[in-house]
Amino acid sequence: MFVLEGTLESGGFLSALRSISGGKLRGLLAVQGDQDLVSMTFIEGKIVAVDAMNRPMEEALSEVLAARGLVAPRKFSSVVDPVLGTGRLAGDVLLEEELIERGDLLDAVREQVLSQALQLLRWEQGIFSWSVDAESPFQKGMEPLSVGELLVRSWEEQDSGSLFGAAKIELAERFEANVVAPSYRVLGRDGDWIAEDDPSLWLTALELQVLEVVDAAQPAAHLLLDLGIESYELRYALQVLLDRSLINPAAGAEEKQASGNVRDLLGAEGEISDLLGTAAMDRSEADPLIPGGVGGLALGGEADFRPSDREISDLDLDRSLLEAEHQGRPALVQTDPLFDSLQESFRVDPDGGTGVVPRPEDIAQILSVWAARAMAFALVALLATQVFFRAQRQDLKFPFFWQARTADQLETKLWSATAAKIESALRVYHLLYGRFPDDLEILVDLQLLAPTSLYDARGRWLAYSMDGDGYSLRPAEGGRLLEQLQRRGGVHDDLFLDPRFVVNANRPETPGVRVVD
C-alpha cells in the first residue's frame, strides 16, 4: 500500500489536498492532531466520508438530523446503536425504518461531511498520512464534496478573504492570461504528487484548462458550461491562477462586452448607429408613420429614428380626410388602420387653427375604460390575496388578511404557553438529575410532560437540542426550523438552577444563602 506522510505546520496538508484532487485519486487521508484522529475518504479526488475517533460520523449525523427537525436524538440512538460495529451505515438503517426520506438523508450526510472537514481545517498542528485504495464506509448517492468547495467554504466561513490573502473571486468578473507569466509544472504530466518542500509552481489539469480558455471578453461564469465543473471548483482554480500571477483581472471588458451584446442581438456587424439606421430604413418602406415612408405621413425625411424637426401640426397630412370626418362626410380615401386610429382620436381645430385637438368625448371614454380596468384589477388582487392568506391561516381563528396582526399575536401567545410548559419540565428534570435531558421524550416518560406538549398549537414538531450548558427549542415545519420562534435557556438564565446561587452537599455553604430541602 502506497503511503505518504507530512505535517500540518509546513503547509503540506494543502499540497496533499491539491494532489489528491488534481490526480483524482482514491484512498484515505488520516490526520492525527491533539484534538482527535480524523479520516477522510476520497473517490475520484472528491471527499465522500469523514469519520473521527472522538466524534464518530454517526454522532455528527444525529446532531444534524436533530437540528433540522428530522429525527430526534433518542429515536436515532434506539435505531442505530444496535447496529454499530456491524459495518452497516446509520443512513441505511434510517431508510429501512422509513424514518427519513432519501433526499433529506443525503443532504444531511453531506452537511455532516462538510462540517467535520471544515473543523479539521482549523487545526494548526498535527501529522497526516495518505493511503492509496484504502477507504472507510460511505453513504452511496451522496454528492461528493470537492476540495475546491471545501477550501472556498472555509474561507467564507472564516471571512478571511482567501487562503492566499487575496480578494474573493466573483464569477461575474473577467480575467485574462498574463502575457509575462512564471513557469509552472502540471500534475500528471510532470509529477504525481506535490511535495511539501517543493518550491515549484504546480498546477492541476483543471487549473491548466482554466488558464488556457480564460477570456477577457466573457465573465468567468461562462467557463462553467465550457468545462462542465461546479462553481466552487472554478472559483478555487481562478484563485490559484490569480495568486500565482498567471492571470489578471481584465481591463475594459465591460465596454467590449456591451457592444458585442448589441451585435449578437441584432445579428449584424458594424456600429450601433448603422444598425439602427438600417432597421429604420427597412421599416419606413411600409410604415406611413416613419419619416421617409410611403403612406399618409410621407415627409421625404431621413430614414432613421431621430425625431423630425417639424411639429406634428406642420406635417403634410391629408387634411381632406380630417375635414370630411369633422363635417360628417365619408372619406374618399382609404388609409391603413394605424392612420385610422390616429384620425379617430383627433379632430380639426374648430377655431380655424392648423393643428388637431382631441375630442372631449374620446377623453371621457378613455378615462372611464381605464377606471373600469383599474377597479377590476383591484378586485382580482383583493380576491387572490384573500384566498392566499386564508390557505396560509386556515388553522387559526383569524383567516382574513386584515387580521394578520391579530393572528400573529395569537400564534405567539400559544407558542409561549407551550414553551413555558416545556421549560418548567426541563427545570424540574435539571433539579432532579443535575443536567438537562437529551430529548423531550424523556420528560414524557417521566410524566413531566404530556405527549401533546411535544407539538405546538399548529401541530408542528418541536426540535430540541443541547447548546453548551443550555438548550434550544423551536418548532420545525417541513424539515425547516423556524428560527424566529426559537427559545433558549440554560442554568445561568435560571436563578433556581444557577450554581452561583444554589448550594449542594458537595460544596460548602455560601454565607447568606440557605439550603431549602
Q: Bigger pLDDT: 387 or 390?
A: 387
3-state secondary structure labels for all residues of 397-460? CCCCHHHHHHHHHHHHHHHHHHHHHHHHHHHHHHHHHCCCCCCCHHHHHCCCCCHHHHECCCCC
pLDDT in the model for residue 316: 42
Q: Bigger pLDDT: 359 or 241?
A: 241
Low-confidence winner among 61-70, 167-176, 346-355 (lowest mean pLDDT): 346-355
What DSSP line would sit under 54-93, residue for residue? SS-HHHHHHHHHHHTTSS-HHHHHHHHGGGTTTT--HHHH
Q: Bigger pLDDT: 440 or 343?
A: 440
**With 70 as the cut, is the pLDDT of residue 144 above it?**
yes
**With 90 as the cut, is the pLDDT of residue 146 above it?**
yes
pTM over 0.85: no
pLDDT in the model for residue 86: 82
Rounded to whole angstroms, how far apart are CA atoms 318 and 320?
Answer: 5
Distances (CA, A) of 465 to 57, 125, 431: 18, 31, 19
Low-confidence winner among 15-24, 62-71, 121-130, 456-465 (lowest mean pLDDT): 456-465
**With 50 as the cut, is the pLDDT of residue 504 above it?**
yes
Alpha-helical segments (H) within 295-392: 319-326, 337-345, 360-392
